[in-house]
Amino acid sequence: MSLSLKASPLPPGSTLGILGGGQLGRMLSQAASRLGFNVVILDPEENSPAGRVSQGQIVAAYDNPTALTVLGQSCEVVTFEFENVPAGSVERLAEGGAVVAPGPRALAVAQDRVDEKTFLNSVGATTVDFAAVDSLNDLISALDRLGTPALLKTRRDGYDGKGQVWIRSVKMAADAWQAIGQCPAILEARADFVRELSVIAARGRDGRIAVYPLGENIHKGGVLKTTIAPAAVEPKTTKRARAIATAILEGLDYVGVLGVELFDLGNGQLLVNEIAPRVHNTGHWTQDGCVCDQFEQHIRAIAGWPLGPTTAHARVEMTNLLGDEIEQWTTLSARADTRLHLYGKAEARPGRKMGHVNRVKPL
């Protein structure tokens, strides 16, 4: 861990920088404000959701050298809200003397699916079998080794089901390769899993780790629809998930909150699907299910404060509001058991995450 991240905790009144102005940046900024911090956002979109609840926003591309210099000089620590921020931008900030958490390595690993799975297996966080694919011949060879069905994904930039296609026979190889734009890819063997789980965990500047209860996730059309937490899991499943999260956090010398998506094979066996070096959609339940939610936890970690408690005080069903589902806000806001979280986005496009609701029930 760098010497700068071992420094004293940042006092209230310090300024934090966030690369990204979307909903995650917005909720991070709101959490930081509750703790007395000032926040500056860097995002190319004017009047971004996060910018509107922050002290200020720098409107510029993420790789704009001048903007990065200003951000780094204005803030005691800089973080990011999504993993498609250019890794070079984070490296430039660090090289310029800014404190960045999580660091450039975590971002670089998460941005390349082959590098990500290679790293995960190296620290004992097992994944499905996989193969790097750089050509149609590579794809055919990988299908011969891994079998079908198998999932072809772009190595970079895919999210919410984009940039991926299932291959159910070798005859589909050429069409699948065309469908992802003939770009560097990864082929993943199919996982025979019972359900999808996730674990949200944090590591502080002092190396201490805090892990939230697991959530069970339901997807629709490649996009997360619902998370139910705490998930009904056996103690050995919880123990394994904690071990996986700890290995990843320590392997990356990570500071901040991390999301880990898991395939539950049953009987305490878990495979890692992917990681997100940031606060995560499947952790939104913590806003109404825990004393310290994932957003406050991330701010605490990067600011060098003690990590907060992760014990659940309620059972929560988190549901994403996609596209015009946002129009249900009047009905949802009237329910006594429901907390409504809206992101302040102007345009409700199909599939776009406009907000979420947490339905709160006793444990």
CATH number, residue 159: 3.30.1490.20
| 225 & 336 share domain | yes
Q: List, in sequence order, every beta strand (DSSP E) within 38-181.
A: 38-43, 56-59, 77-80, 130-133, 150-154, 164-167
The pLDDT assigned to 3 comes to 38
Residues 140 and 93 in one domain: no
Provide the number of structural domains found in the chain. Answer: 3
Do 356 and 214 belong together in one domain? yes
| pLDDT of 344 | 95
Tell me which residue range forms the domain holding 142: 129-189
Residue 109 placed within a domain: no
Tell me if 293 is assigned to some domain. yes
Residue 351 CA: distances (Å) to CA of 43, 154, 161, 225, 283: 22, 20, 11, 10, 19
Residues 202 and 303 in one domain: yes
Peptide bond into 102 cis (omega under 30): yes
DSSP output for 12-79? TT-EEEEE--SHHHHHHHHHHHHTT-EEEEEESSTT-TTGGGSSEEEES-TT-HHHHHHHHHH-SEEE
pLDDT of residue 233: 97
Going by C-alpha positions, the residue among 219, 255, 244 that lies closest to residue 104 is 255
Residues 344 and 267 grouped into a single domain: yes
Q: Kindly give, in sequence order, each residue whose CB lies less than 8 Å from that of residue 135, ignoring residues fewer than 6 positions away.
A: none
Domain match, 87 and 133 both: no
Q: Report the predicted TM-score, pTM, of the whole model to 2 decimal places.
A: 0.94
The answer to the question of residue 270 being in a domain is yes
What number of residues does the chain have?
363
* Rounded distance between C-alpha atoms, residue 130 and residue 188, angstroms: 4
Tell me the C-alpha distance between 261 and 225, whole Å.
Answer: 14
Rounded to whole angstroms, the Cα distance separating 287 from 172 reads: 43
Report the alpha-carbon distance of residue 93 to residue 95 in Å, rounded.
6
- Are both 57 and 137 inside the same structural domain? no
C-alpha angle 244-249-250 in degrees, rounded to nearest 5: 100
* pLDDT at residue 163, rounded to an integer: 82
pLDDT number for residue 60: 98
The domain boundary, picked from 156, 173, 189, lies at: 189
Q: Determine phi and psi for 149, rounding to 5 degrees.
A: -70, 155
R_g over Cα of the chain: 20
> Does residue 268 sit within a domain?
yes
Looking at the structure, do residues 86 and 154 belong to the same domain, yes or no?
no
- Residue at 118 is within a domain: no
- What does the DSSP 8-state code read for residue 213? P
Helices 87-95 and 104-111 pack at an angle, to 10 degrees, of 170
Q: Is the preceding peptide bond at 149 cis, omega within 30 degrees of 0?
A: yes
How many CB atoms are closer than 10 A to CB 360? 17
Q: Which residues of the chain have pLDDT under 70?
A: 1-7, 158-161
15 close to 36: Cβ distance less than 8 angstroms: no
- Report the alpha-carbon distance of residue 123 to residue 247 in Å, rounded: 6
Instruction: Say yes or no: 139 and 237 in one domain.
Output: no
Quote helix, strand, coil % in the chain, to nearest 5: 35, 30, 35
Does residue 339 fall inside a structural domain? yes
Does residue 38 sit within a domain?
yes
Q: Of the residues 80, 100, 120, which one is the last residue of a structural domain?
A: 100
Q: Are residues 156 and 249 in the same domain?
A: no
Degrees to nearest 5, angle at CA 182 with 181 and 186:
105
Asked if residue 337 belongs to a domain, the reply is: yes
Tokens coding 329: 């806000």
Do 175 and 308 share a domain, yes or no? no
Whichever domain contains 19, its CATH number is 3.40.50.20
Whether residue 65 is preceded by a cis peptide bond, meaning omega within 30 degrees of 0, is no
Same domain for 185 and 204: no
Nearest-5° Cα angle at 274, 261 to 313: 25
